[in-house]
Each structure stands twice: as C-alpha cells, then as structure tokens.
Amino acid sequence: MGCDGGTIPKRHELVKGPKKVEKVDKDAELVAQWNYCTLSQEILRRPVVACELGRLYNKDAVIEFLLDKSAEKALGKAASHIRSIKNVTELRLSDNPAWEGDKGNTKGDKHDDLQRARFICPVVGLEMNGRHRFCFLRCCGCVFSERALKEIKAEVCHT
C-alpha cells in the first residue's frame, strides 16, 4: 500500500506526468490515402475521380454526395469544396500487372503486401502507393508520376 510510515514514496510515484501522444503510422496513413475513397472510405474502384486538392474519390460516392444535400454527413467536410461534378476530373489510371488484389488471398492465410499498388505510372513504371508524387492532367485525366512529367517536359499529354 505505501505511506504507512515505513516507506518513503519517490517523486515519480506521486506526480503523474503528461500523457504521451500516440504517433500516427505513416505507412497506414499512405495506404488509406491512396487505396480508399476520401468521401465514403470504401476501396477505390473505377471510375476514380480527383479534385483540385489531389484527393481521390469513387465517382459514384461523389454523385451520391452531390445528390443527397439533406443529410449532413460527418465525412462531408472532406468534399465540401466540391459543388458540382465539374469540380472533379475522371482519372485514366494504368493497372499494375504485379498487383494481385483479393484473388490471391481467398482463405485469409496469406500476407497482404500493402506497399504493392494497384495503379502505376505508364511512362516510368513507379507504383502509385504514396511514396512518389503523382500528378494528373485536368484536360484529359491522364495520371503520371512527377518524375515522368519532368522527363517529358511537355505541356500536352503524351497519349
């Protein structure tokens, strides 16, 4: 029990320090940002759209958000800057041939590689997993890595 006359408490036993702040796992944050819709928190599936802030959305989630103005949703703050479908650009993404998706893990006994991306840059071949910067052209919706755009040095889409 202590403090019964026979023990002398130390300072760290009497004074409680400030609580330690929990650190956010950067890898988990990148996986969530590049694999899930910002609005509906579902896995990204085609057609994928992006806003001018660079956030990725499922197109059907954006349409549902725009049509359903009556119910104020908690996640509506993530898309409050989207006023119409013209504020988003539909992306033309290139599939990664090394990505297996859910077809390899049907029983649940296989390790999922979260760093393996579903989409890649068609020019350089970098995976779109958050480790490298990616850009999209608003005129056509083509997605390239920033490294590829520096190599091309052109204002128009290469396709």
Q: Is 57 helix (H, G, I), strand (E, B) or coil?
A: strand
Specify the range with the lowest mean pLDDT, choosing from 82-86, 114-118, 127-131, 141-145: 114-118
First vs last C-alpha separation in the chain: 76
Distance of alpha carbon 29 from alpha carbon 25, whole angstroms: 6
Which amino acid, 131? Answer: R
Which residue, 93, 141, 158, 101, is CA-closest to 121? 93
- pLDDT tens digits, 1-15: 555 667 788 888 888
Which residue, 95, 74, 30, 27, is CA-closest to 56? 30
DSSP string across 22-53: PPPPHHHHHHHHHHB-TTT-SBP-SSEEE-TT
Q: Are 57 and 81 in contact (CB under 8 A)?
A: no
- pLDDT tens digits, 38-55: 998 999 999 999 999 999
